[in-house]
Amino acid sequence: MDIEKTGKDILDAAFAIHSKFGNGLLEKAYRIVLATELRRLGHTVEEEKVCGFEFNGVAYENMFRVDLLVDETIVVEVKSVNRMDPVFAKQCLTCLKLLGKPLGFVLNFGMPSLKEGIVRLANNLQNQTSRTSRTSREEKQGENP
């Protein structure tokens, strides 16, 4: 499946969920509903996938959990807090780099407007699309010097 189409499905489902429930639920509720919606749309979704990596022949197992891994290519970190924190993007980018996945999203359902709670991250995505390895916020800042 096309990675950009999958990304659009993730965002469309997130907006529908936030429109229905607002920003008052716990993270787990948003994660479960989002995973269910994405499966309904025909995507494969792994929840709370335990991940590790290898470096110089040493395996580092059970290092972190990915909230959602969609179609084995897109990492989704789900949050439900009242403000964005730069550590959220760092967490997602760490998962992208260590797992070698091309695209990730931080979705903070705790924001009054979900639009303010979305960060899109890319890791060597230029091989699949024309996007660069910067966050969407960095892209916006780069457009307005």
Adjacent-strand bridge partners of 114: none
E strand or H helix that includes residue 8 = helix 3-21
What is the per-residue pLDDT across 97-121, written as a single tens digit (0 to 9) for each?
Answer: 888 999 999 999 999 999 999 999 9
Domain extents in the chain: 3-131
Cα 140 from Cα 94, distance rounded (Å): 22
pTM for the model? 0.83
- C-alpha atoms less than 13 angstroms from C-alpha of 66 in its C-beta half-sphere: 26
Stretches where the chain sits below pLDDT 50 are 128-145
Cα 111 from Cα 37, distance rounded (Å): 20
